Amino acid sequence: MPRNRLSPAIALVVTTTVAGALAAAAPAIAAPPPAADPQVLAAMTRDLGVAEPGARLAAERVAAKTDRVLRATLGSRLGGSWFDGETLVVGVTDTRAAATARALGAEPKLVARSETALVAAKNRLDAGAAAAPSSVPGWHTDPVTNTVVVKYAPGTQAEARAWVAASGVGAGPVRFVETTERARPTIDVVGGNRYWTSKYGCSVGFAVQGGFITAGHCGKVGETTTQPGGRFEGSSFPVDDMAFVRTDAGNTLVPAVTNGSTRVAVTGAQEAPVGSSICRSGGTTGWHCGTITSRNATVDYGSQIGKVYEALETTACAEPGDSGGSAISGSQAQGVTSGTSGDCKGGPSTTYAQPIAEILRTYNLTLLTSGGGPGDPPTGCGTAATGTVSTGGTSVQPPAGSFQAAAGAHKACLTGPAGTDFDLYLQRSSGGQWTTVASGTGPTSTETVTYNGTAGTYRWQIRSYSGSGQYRLEVTKP
């Protein structure tokens, strides 16, 4: 179902350099990222024309981490964000937020609309989706142009404009784009794919505890699969396009994405900003890469099928049989392939994917990641405390809500269940508000944060980016 993601009203835009992003993330100590698979690098060079794909992926990791820190720090005062190939661009909503962004190495610039306004406009269009003319194949938020893009078939702009007006959306935030595309689900009734139902060949998305995730249009609840054997335990299509297949005993679940004879390790599910590279793998076409153009797209698969909301929109190509396959940025899972308006034989192609976070949350699943579980916390972190946190939720330590600390060094070590992604924030009370002063936002639930600060009132906040369960936090205060 459609859901509101972000907030506020006037917006500034912040252009964060890679150096600034590193400064923002500096308080957290993280293990070095795994080396990119050569097949991924080759696909990025082939499909994106990137001369140094390894450097591009490194810059995207920094951008994703900086984006995450800024969002957690600024909360509702943060606007949209995208990666422009070299730097991260993010939005803030007031001068105080701009000052905070500057302190994290960012440079603010003014734009006309907040992300909240764009999301609200798109939600109005989603509410009127049933009345959308067949000549409108979809619409999505576009932070780069600070608009909501409405696509229309050649010669039908007047119909599109009339529908937008009838939906109660003013012309201001909407940009109309002519297109010849018409998306279709990427199932194949004949091709040799990674797994089969009684009707279709589709592709495995990602391994989770108990089975794998894939596209909802590949099968209904209760249908069985072969190669690997299993049964659809959850499925949703249209509106969403997601499913969970519980596999039979004897199947080995591997936290990786296949690329012919090689495998690319999956290390987490950290959300990549708009503009980041994304590669998808499917049983028909193998590896193909593109960029993320929107994280909030509505796609119309036609009157006989229906619409899917809040999909990822990408420029990676796909073909029938790739449905349900992996969409991954670097080693971070992003979603499962839903449908496409093109093919991989040349020419433009728009491919859509169901975001992974909603799949894990809806079916209460844990993504399997390479490197196993959280392991033992680093030694010497101090007094231990435990707690629980659910997907999208937060927990505060100490239970009293805060602690007093003298000037000096703070240190904390967090561990959580395997396959989850918990983040750790040290916050200081100032003027009645909590401000994040240090953070650990890696792609797993093992985080270490150190910080040298002044005397004051502090608290530790544990936030679940994905997954639920018990955590252990060891802390030392000055």
138, two tokens: 């979809």
* Cβ atoms within 10 Å, residue 246: 15
Phi and psi, residue 43, nearest 5°: -65, -40
Helix (H, G, I), strand (E, B) or coil at 116: helix
Give exposure, 7-16, as e/b (b: 16+ Cβ within 10 Å): bbebbbbbbb
| Alpha-carbon span 217 to 323, nearest angstrom | 8
Phi and psi, residue 362, nearest 5°: -65, -45
Strand residues in 276-407 grouped as ranges (E): 277-282, 286-300, 307-314, 326-329, 332-340, 351-355, 383-389, 394-397, 403-405
| Alpha-carbon span 256 to 331, nearest angstrom | 9
Looking at the chain, the number of H-run helices and the number of E-run strands are 7, 33
Element (H or E) spanning 44, and its range?
A: helix 38-48
324, two tokens: 């349900």
Omega of the bond prior to 108 within 30 degrees of 0, cis? Answer: no
333, 266 Cβ separation under 8 angstroms: yes
| Alpha-carbon span 315 to 113, nearest angstrom | 25
176, 137 Cβ separation under 8 angstroms: no
Nearest in space to 440 (alpha carbons), one of 429, 451, 455:
451
Q: Tell me which DSSP letter residue 399 carries.
A: T
335, 178 Cβ separation under 8 angstroms: no
Enumerate the β-bridge partners of residue 15. 89, 107
Phi and psi, residue 165, nearest 5°: -65, -40
230, two tokens: 């299993």
Which position has the token pair 């029938």? 320
Helix (H, G, I), strand (E, B) or coil at 153: coil
| Alpha-carbon span 332 to 317, nearest angstrom | 19
Classify strands 174-178 and 147-152 as parallel, antiparallel or unpaired: parallel
Catalytic residues: 217, 241, 323
